[in-house]
Structure 1
Amino acid sequence: MSIIIKFFVAPDDEAAAAVVDHGPDEAFESLVFGNFDVEEAIIEWESILTGRSFEELVDADEPAVVAGPGDGEGPMVLAASRVLQDALAAADAPRLVGVSELWVQERAAGGEVLDPEVATRILCDVAELARSIGMQDGGSLYCWVA
């Protein structure tokens, strides 16, 4: 379970990796969440949005770790796949509500309680951030986790 989760847009992996020690706040605008397993969430979102299986995404090493400690302890930066980024950006509000409902069900099956309203807000906010990439000079969607 991640304690602090910050989604942000950076121009490239190098710029995203540069914030691993202290988070993106000083370098990039970010969305702050907490207390859910963000790595599983990113995989589940992509699975639900694209129809790819959870196992297929895990085997593809999604989400990609851009920066992190070698021992697995401490903050890290994850990169959302371009496929997920595009799917989030293209999803309308009813689609995001449907995805959040399925995400809540997936978490419940794993024994985790996730409030449906919070789940929808998280997905809608992250989708809005993904949409903002098209309005900027490009970049990609990342997540800093501590």
Structure 2
Amino acid sequence: MAHDIVFFLAPDDETAAATRRGGPGQAFESVPCRFIEPDSAIVEWDMYFEEPSSKAPSVEQLLGWSWPEWVTVPLNDGVDVFALPQRLTQALAGASSAELEELAGRWTTRLRSADGDDMTDDDLLAVLQGIARLAVTAARTGGRLYSWSF
């Protein structure tokens, strides 16, 4: 399980890839969280906006979905940098409060069933709201959303 995750806004893949070594730090607008797997979260969010439902997806549904793009070559050091799909960034930028609340509830249900007491302490609705704010900026500036995790 990933420990430190930062969702961040960057102008392009090359700039995002440059964060691999030390993370995005203070140089980028970002939303931190802990103890989630960013790739499965991205897949779940993308599924929600493509096929809205308050019901959490099964593991089989998650595995059958298109997974986020690597921005850097995967190495065996535990660091991952992913690009969120553009359609997801657009969906998050236009998401209503009700959609974010429903998605947060669904995401919490899935994480709780998978991780139990080891689930993140983060307020998942607040995380999604922060990422949605980044998505609005990305849509306005032409940037992209990324996740960095270690």
**TM-score, normalised to structure 2's length?**
0.83
Percent identity between matched residues is 31
Q: How many residues align?
A: 141
Any conservation in 2 of the 1:68–1:74 contact (CA below 8 Å)? no
Unaligned runs of 5+ in 1: none
User: Which residue of structure 1 lines up, in the alignment, with residue 96 of structure 2?
Assistant: 92
User: Which residue of structure 2 lines up, in the alignment, with residue 28 of structure 1?
Assistant: 28
User: What are the Cα deviations for residues 11-47 of structure 1, in whole angstroms up to 9, with x where unaligned?
Assistant: 1111100110011114322211111122111111111
User: Which residue of structure 2 lines up, in the alignment, with residue 126 of structure 1?
Assistant: 131
4+ aligned runs moved over 4 Å, structure 1 = 113-117
User: Which residue of structure 1 lines up, in the alignment, with residue 110 of structure 2?
Assistant: 106
Distance 2:37 2:82 in 1: 12
User: Which residue of structure 2 lines up, in the alignment, with residue 64 of structure 1?
Assistant: 69
User: What are the Cα deviations for residues 114-142 of structure 1, in whole angstroms up to 9, with x where unaligned?
Assistant: 57981111111111110111232x11100
Name the amino acid aligned to 1:105.
T
Name the amino acid aligned to 1:35.
F
From the superposition, tell whether residues 98 and 117 of structure 1 become closer, same or farther in structure 2 (CA, over 3 Å): farther
**TM-score, normalised to structure 1's length?**
0.85
CA RMSD between the two structures: 2.1
Distance 2:2 2:35 in 1: 5
Q: Secondary structure at the match of 2:71?
A: strand
